[in-house]
Amino acid sequence: MSLAVRPRRLPAHSRETARGFTLIELLVVVAIIALLISILLPSLNAAREQARLIKCLAHQRGLAMAANSFALDHSDLLQLVTDDIGRQRADSSKSRYAYDENDELLSWVAAYGQYAGNTGIARNWDWGVRATDLVQAQQRQEYMANDFGLALCPSDKIQIATPFYPIGTQLVSLAPSPQPNDGNFYWGRLSFGINEDLVGGRDDYSTQPPVGRPLPSNPERWATGQKHPEAGDRLEGNLSKVYDASTLLMLTDAGADSENEGSSDTEVNPYNRPGGVYNLIISAQATGPFLEHSMDKWPQRVPTRRHKGGALNVIFADFHGERVTPSGWREAVDGSKVPSGFNGDVRISPYRLPGIIRELR
């Protein structure tokens, strides 16, 4: 006789727990997860932006430390940033600032790169490439140095710019083949700009109006570049001549917000010739001594959309760093919106301007 094996029946509660989720239950869970993501995503994005802003300022502080070390080795001078006329007047013997083995004046990026520990940057072309504009520079970016992270802001979408000087006839060094040697500017991986009023030279005033202070009764003279008897020239990097170093900008976020801004096309970018935007902050031809006045005249040299709310990271001439935010907005010469002021004084002109500072705001 054969014995039939009867299947074992699960208890009722076991059968109950083995049942799968219903479609409605799954949809409810998905909806809850989507709701949580929609709530948390802005916070996550804000946290990422905050992290990028902090890293950007940390990189600028690293550059400031390199600049400070440079000044300690060069009689309290920062690296000179000027054309050949300004260089002749500031250093005809080529002994006061940094040059390469062919006596080409180093850009401030290359000079401070050395002091930041990048021993491979001995010449300008060790850092960047020669090019005439941003488009050509982007085509040659394979030759640009990738190991100088301090020169970059993680929020910068372009990360290629020119410090402008040295320029044209100043260019002596030739990069080894196959790097191209044509172009009047060096371009490289760069997100920051330097104050030309502080580090520039006494160049040809017919093409570069001198830094000066306007009369209290006639602030328009600032915009025309006319020289006031109490005005000073660009400081040639001389930190000992700075008035109130704690409010004088030395380094800041700089460069175009978009590739269209960086274009050399005069229809797209008529205010920054040649070569589109370049990373020099300057008060000449501006309407006053502060950063907001410089941005009125040169709106595309300082980014307003790199950081949330138009915030900028600034290193001052006493080497401390701060984040500054716009206190308001107004229209610049090209119709774009630029800050009407910041939550603290950020001066471009290195001179004391008694009695007229508030009048110019």
Q: Select the highest-mean-pLDDT range: 11-25, 96-110, 219-233, 278-292.
A: 96-110
CA atoms within 13 Å, Cβ hemisphere of 228: 20
Is pLDDT at 220 greater than 60 in this prediction?
Answer: no
> Per the domain annotation, does 208 fall within a domain?
yes
Residue 272 near residue 257 (C-beta atoms within 8 A): no
Residue 354 preceded by cis peptide, ω within 30: no
Residue 222: predicted pLDDT: 41
- Between CA 213 and CA 86 the distance in angstroms is 21
- Provide the domain count of the chain: 1
> Per the domain annotation, does 192 fall within a domain?
yes
Q: Specify the 3-state DSSP secondary structure of 215.
A: strand
Q: Please give the average per-residue pLDDT across 319-337, as a whole number.
A: 90
Under 8 Å CB-to-CB from 225, ≥6 apart: which residues? 205, 209, 210, 212, 284, 285
pLDDT tens digits along 124-167? 999 999 998 888 999 999 999 999 999 999 999 999 999 999 99
- Between CA 218 and CA 122 the distance in angstroms is 47
Domain range for 166 is: 45-342
DSSP assignment of 165-181 equals: -S-GGG----PPTTS--
Residue 209 preceded by cis peptide, ω within 30: no
Helix (H) / strand (E) containing 331: strand 326-331
In one-letter notation, the amino acid at residue 30 is V
In one-letter notation, the amino acid at residue 284 is A
* Whole-number average pLDDT of the chain: 82
Residue 278: predicted pLDDT: 82
pLDDT tens digits along 58-104? 999 999 999 999 999 999 999 999 999 899 999 999 999 999 999 99
Is pLDDT at 214 greater than 60 in this prediction?
Answer: no
Residue 48: predicted pLDDT: 77
pLDDT tens digits along 35-53? 887 777 676 666 777 788 8
Residue 6: predicted pLDDT: 61
Is pLDDT at 270 greater than 50 in this prediction?
Answer: no
Residue 213: predicted pLDDT: 40
> Per the domain annotation, does 98 fall within a domain?
yes
Is pLDDT at 203 greater than 80 in this prediction?
Answer: no
> Per the domain annotation, does 219 fall within a domain?
yes
Rounded to 5 degrees, φ, ψ at 108 are: -65, -30
Is pLDDT at 34 greater than 80 in this prediction?
Answer: yes
Q: Select the highest-mean-pLDDT range: 88-102, 225-239, 260-274.
A: 88-102
Show the tokens assigned to 154.
């993680």
pLDDT tens digits along 190-199? 999 999 999 9
Q: Please give the average per-residue pLDDT across 277-281, as a whole number.
A: 85
Which has the higher per-residue pLDDT, 25 or 303? Answer: 303
39-77 core/surface letters (b: 16 or more CB in 10 A; e: else): eeeeeeeeeebeebbebbbebbbbbbbbbeebbeebeeb
> Per the domain annotation, does 355 fall within a domain?
no
- Between CA 158 and CA 169 the distance in angstroms is 28
Beta-carbon count within 10 A of 255 CB: 28
Q: Select the highest-mean-pLDDT range: 178-182, 192-196, 267-271.
A: 192-196
Residue 224: predicted pLDDT: 41
Kindly list the distances between the CA atom of residue 28 and the CA atoms of 2, 22, 44, in Å, as whole numbers in the listed order: 52, 10, 24
Of 103, 153, 95, 151, nearest to 127 (Cα)? 151
Is pLDDT at 265 greater than 80 in this prediction?
Answer: no
Worst-scoring range by mean pLDDT, 65-79, 197-211, 284-298?
Answer: 197-211
Residue 51: predicted pLDDT: 84
Q: Specify the 3-state DSSP secondary structure of 139.
A: helix
For residue 264, name the pLDDT band (cuts at 50, 70, 90). low
> Per the domain annotation, does 354 fall within a domain?
no
Worst-scoring range by mean pLDDT, 166-170, 187-191, 332-336, 357-361?
Answer: 357-361
- Between CA 243 and CA 318 the distance in angstroms is 11
Residue 13: predicted pLDDT: 57
